[in-house]
Amino acid sequence: MSITCRSHVRSFSAGEVHWEEWSPPRNGGERGRPVVLVHGLSDSCRTWNRLAPALAAGRRVVALDLPGHGQSARPDAPYKVGWYAGVVAEWIRALGLDDFDLIGHSFGGSIAMCVAIERPGRVHRLALVAAGGIGSEVALPLRFAAVTGLLELAVPALMGVGTHAGMLVLGGNFNAAERRHLARVNARPGTARALSRTLRHAVDLRGQREHLMDFAHRLPEIPPLAVYWGDRDPVIPVRHAADVERYLDGVTVRRFAKAGHYPHREAVNELAPDLLRFLDEPRPAPRLRAGARAPRAAVAPPPPRPVWQPAPAAAARSWSLRSLVPLFRPASPQDDGAARATDLGSRPPPVPC
């Protein structure tokens, strides 16, 4: 079976956006809804090149490079999750997709949830792969980078070297050519600024600012939802998959024992058939479980979006050694319990979509 993959570039409000599109064979035809794929932080649309052909056997599959990533533009922009979601929604409208399935990996999961809010009734199925925005816990280096703002000072060459080293540490079954490609595009000027601003808005000392419950309470009806996770994920803990079942009833949750942060690459032979069943078979809309509640601020109407203005460089890097102490203090079981309770009730106001 021959799957065709084509690259496209087009100008949008955030500058040029690059995407790839996989199409089914002409004699097979499109039987299912289009699928939109959203990659994570410091990644590109090529992260989907093992999963996309399996999905494209009977449907149109599209995956973009987010602004600040891959071969897309790197504008001087806020890089908040809501801003990313607006760009993705603009791109989806330009492609003429009125009813589609949406899959997001890592930070792309947060964006996917926000797109579902931006495009209510248009997202038919939502799948989250090792997704951000479900709980607060996240890898320590990301918290450090978010708090210090030092990433924005990185020179392009350092970004390329860091990307290559990070891929070797995180795994993901990237081959040498794929590692070289991602290191090369991440060495483009403007990448460090985009990643630094993204982290500053998405992560703080305590972890991720966004929470699944914010999403659940802001949709009149949650689309059928599937969550996929690798048991060996070193970036976002796999226990967030269990948290989804704790909050919502009627969710499909699958874990992969030998996968890390990239189950769509490391366990694609297991994930692809399960995902196809989820996309094709009738599924109920998830329901909030009794007692599940959003952070306090999420129950109130979201505040109007402020007009973004670049922060002074000094303000972006305002921090002190004292502010880093909580990062290095060993956590106790009591701390972990308090943090998880905080997830459900007392976190500060989330960054609005």
Give the integer Cα–Cα distance in Å for 264 and 228.
9
Report which of residues 209 and 87 the model is more confident about. Answer: 87
| Position 126 pLDDT exceeds 90 | yes
Residues whose CB is less than 8 angstroms from the CB of residue 140 and which lie 6 or more positions away in sequence, other chains included: 327
Q: What would the mean pLDDT of 220-227 be, rounded to a whole number?
A: 91
Confidence at 165, pLDDT banded by 50, 70, 90: confident
Whether residue 255 contacts residue 271, with contact meaning beta carbons closer than 8 Å, is answered with: no
Give the integer Cα–Cα distance in Å for 230 and 43.
18
pLDDT of residue 34: 97
pLDDT of residue 323: 37
Report which of residues 308 and 7 the model is more confident about. Answer: 7
Taking CA atoms, 219 is separated from 127, 136, 174, 213, in Å, by: 16, 21, 36, 10
Q: What would the mean pLDDT of 102-109 be, rounded to a whole number?
A: 97
Report which of residues 51 and 350 the model is more confident about. Answer: 51
Greatest mean pLDDT among 8-22, 216-230, 293-307 lies in: 8-22
Strands 248-249 and 287-288: antiparallel
Give the integer Cα–Cα distance in Å for 228 and 105.
9
The answer to which of 62-71, 130-139, 178-187, 211-220 has the lowest mean pLDDT is 211-220
Q: What would the mean pLDDT of 245-265 be, rounded to a whole number?
A: 95
Q: What would the mean pLDDT of 96-118 be, rounded to a whole number?
A: 95
Taking CA atoms, 192 is separated from 75, 87, 88, 234, 253, in Å, by: 12, 19, 21, 22, 34
Give the integer Cα–Cα distance in Å for 92 and 246.
32
Report which of residues 284 and 315 the model is more confident about. Answer: 284
Q: At what angle do helices 191-202 and 156-170 cross, to 10 degrees?
A: 60
Tens digit of pLDDT for each residue in 57-93?
Answer: 889 999 999 999 999 999 999 999 999 999 999 999 9
Q: Which residue has the tokens 């609005």?
A: 352
Take residue 229 and report the two structure tokens written for it: 């996770």
Residue 167 has a CB neighbour count (10 Å cut-off) of 20
| Position 337 pLDDT exceeds 60 | no
Report which of residues 98 and 319 the model is more confident about. Answer: 98
Q: What is the mean pLDDT of the chain?
A: 81
Give the integer Cα–Cα distance in Å for 84 and 308.
14
- What letter does residue 195 receive in the DSSP assignment? H
Confidence at 260, pLDDT banded by 50, 70, 90: very high
The answer to which of 152-166, 250-264, 273-287 has the lowest mean pLDDT is 152-166
Spell out the domains of the chain, with CATH numbers in brackets: 4-296+310-345 (3.40.50.1820)
Residues whose CB is less than 8 angstroms from the CB of residue 330 and which lie 6 or more positions away in sequence, other chains included: none
Q: Would you call 130 helix, strand, or coil by DSSP?
A: coil
Residue 49 has a CB neighbour count (10 Å cut-off) of 17
Tens digit of pLDDT for each residue in 2-53?
Answer: 788 999 999 999 999 999 999 887 766 667 899 999 999 999 999 999 999 9
pLDDT of residue 311: 38
pTM above 0.85, yes or no: no
Share of the chain above pLDDT 70, in %: 78
